[in-house]
Amino acid sequence: MSSPEAVMRLAPVIPVLVIEDVAHAVPIAQALVAGGLPALEVTLRTPCALDVIRAMKQVPGAVVGAGTVLNPRELDAALEAGAEFIVSPGLTPALGKAAVEAGVPFLPGTANAGDIMLGLDLGLTHFKFFPAEASGGIPALKAIAGPFGMAKFCPTGGITLATAPDWLAVGPVLCVGGSWIVPKGEPDVSQIEANARAAAALK
Ligand code: 3PG
């Protein structure tokens, strides 16, 4: 993927994945891609996450990124595993600089004007808005985005199939993120594909 914008325009929803067993990686990725959600955010919250990235990359059509990337060391590990985009819950100068130097599409979490200004200083214009609902929801995003006409957002955190359309209707929102597509536990691939299909039909 060449840019964060390209990743964000693949589908209206980026599923946020917390995968506990690498054996689940391929069937979940296949179900998501079949349902119309090719951009997959594998969070680095489980011991097998890097192996999950490697496995999901074998699935045709999948564009696999790493989420919950907290520092340059984790960025390097994610890139080494083949991550094609990077998502973080927040923005630090160290991580931002490393991601820009690596040239990888990077969506850092922002929840206030200062975060966005730090990103702009680094040359970043595309952001996760996190935690979206807890930070004040759509009114908060509209107010924060107001001064930053160049900034685009992927709100994530507390968003559901029911609330996603309202978020997607906000001008600077290109897509949303959410974990509702793939519930915790033993994967039910037909349910995951149905969830993905419903999410892919939004907007
Ligand atoms: C994230 O890491 O982006 C969030 O944990 C996802 O939030 P959700 O579980 O409320 O969708």
Q: What is the pLDDT along the chain (203 residues), one digit of tens a residue?
A: 689 999 999 999 999 999 999 999 999 999 999 999 999 999 999 999 999 999 999 999 999 999 999 999 999 999 999 999 999 999 999 999 999 999 999 999 999 999 999 999 999 999 999 999 999 999 999 999 999 999 999 999 999 999 999 999 999 999 999 999 999 999 999 999 999 999 999 97
Question: Token pair for residue 27?
Answer: 């069937």
Whether the CA torsion 185, 189, 190, 194 is positive or negative: it is: positive
Number of domains within the chain: 1
Residue carrying the six token digits 């206030």: 112
Residue carrying the six token digits 């564009």: 63
Structural domain for 188, as ranges: 4-200
Neighbours of 103 (CB within 10 A): 9
Supply the CATH number for residue 195's domain. 3.20.20.70
Q: Is 16 in the pocket of ligand 1 (CB under 6 A)?
A: yes
Residues 6+ apart with CB under 8 A from 30: 59, 189
Q: Is 157 in the pocket of ligand 1 (CB under 6 A)?
A: yes
Question: Token pair for residue 202?
Answer: 């939004």
Centre of ligand 1 from the C-alpha of residue 161, in Å: 13
